[in-house]
């Protein structure tokens, strides 16, 4: 497939502080990337940089050949970027269905398709956002991002703090999203064993630098690399 996202020698951070150093990788259209690393190693900062929420110091960052670094943050969703942050940021005073339709853009992800993927949201479509459980709020945040019909979906630790049964549900949903091939997905997670089976590529960050970039299956079978860079998070 054609190349969708490309980063070359990217340095970025907050104000004068540099968090990401010399980051380079590429992702094809419909591809999938597991973004791994311990806490505080720059994973969320990398997603925030793609969305324009950090200070871009230097390097090249392009989406379908367009220079992403010069696009204002508020315009990046229109270019095809969807982001599900750790905070979820759903609209608490709107119903589930209103949360979904208020951001909808034309494309393959329709309300009917969302409800087929997230039957629990269909059951609760009239409930307000603040009436949902944590797992349901996470589902709504993911579903709302899909309604934007992104070319690239960024998921920042979508499994964090959820009950094991909800985690299993979300893993199945994420697998279906990736397998559909409608969009590329970058998935941030600390627990490698949960997401490496779902993705084709993997990138490990250590103190803002990439220490592994390659095939997910190869990394999944390399216990030495997993233990070295991820420790207990890999088990």
Report how far residue 27's alpha carbon sits from residue 221's, in angstroms, rounded to the nearest whole number.
22
175: nearest Cα among 185, 163, 166: 185
3-state class (DSSP) for residue 199: coil
The predicted structure's pLDDT at residue 232: 54
Which residues of the chain fall below pLDDT 70? 232-235
The predicted structure's pLDDT at residue 235: 46
Report how far residue 102's alpha carbon sits from residue 145's, in angstroms, rounded to the nearest whole number.
11
The predicted structure's pLDDT at residue 167: 95
Contact between 53 and 210 under an 8 Å Cβ cutoff? The reply is no
**Quick one: CA torsion of 183, 42, 201, 197, rounded to 10 degrees?**
-90
Q: Is 179 exposed, middle or buried (0-12, 13-18, 19+ CB in 10 A)?
A: exposed
The predicted structure's pLDDT at residue 89: 86
The pair of structure tokens assigned to 49 is 């940089």
Report how far residue 142's alpha carbon sits from residue 1's, in angstroms, rounded to the nearest whole number.
25
The radius of gyration of the chain from alpha carbons, rounded to an integer in Å, stands at 17
Question: Which strands form 184-188's sheet, in the order they lie side by side?
Answer: 81-84, 152-156, 184-188, 32-36, 201-206, 209-215
Contact between 96 and 132 under an 8 Å Cβ cutoff? The reply is yes
Residue with tokens 């490496």: 196
Q: Which tens digit of pLDDT belongs to each residue from 23-73? A: 999 999 999 999 999 999 999 999 999 999 999 999 999 999 999 999 999
pTM (2 d.p.): 0.94
Domains and CATH numbers, the chain: 80-183 (3.40.50.300)
């Amino acid at each position: 497939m054609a190349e969708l996202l490309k980063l070359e020698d990217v340095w970025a951070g907050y104000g004068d502080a540099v968090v990401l150093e010399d980051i380079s990788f590429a992702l094809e259209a419909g591809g999938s990337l597991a973004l791994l690393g311990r806490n505080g190693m720059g994973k969320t900062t990398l997603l925030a940089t793609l969305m324009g929420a950090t200070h871009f110091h230097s390097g090249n960052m392009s989406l379908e050949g367009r220079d992403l670094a010069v696009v204002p943050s508020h315009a990046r969703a229109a270019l095809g970027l969807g982001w599900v942050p750790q905070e979820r940021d759903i609209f608490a005073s709107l119903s589930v269905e209103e949360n979904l339709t208020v951001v909808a853009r034309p494309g393959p992800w329709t309300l009917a398709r969302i409800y087929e993927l997230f039957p629990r949201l269909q059951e609760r479509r009239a409930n307000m956002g603040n009436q949902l459980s944590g797992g349901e709020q996470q589902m709504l945040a993911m579903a709302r991002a899909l309604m934007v019909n992104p070319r690239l979906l960024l998921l920042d630790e979508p499994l964090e703090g959820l009950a094991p049964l909800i985690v299993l549900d979300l893993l199945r949903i994420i697998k279906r999203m990736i397998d559909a091939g409608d969009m590329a997905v970058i998935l941030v997670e600390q627990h490698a064993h949960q997401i490496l089976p779902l993705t084709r590529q993997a990138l490990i960050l250590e103190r803002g630098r990439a220490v592994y970039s390659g095939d997910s299956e190869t990394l999944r079978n390399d216990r030495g690399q997993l233990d070295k860079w991820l420790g207990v998070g890999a088990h």
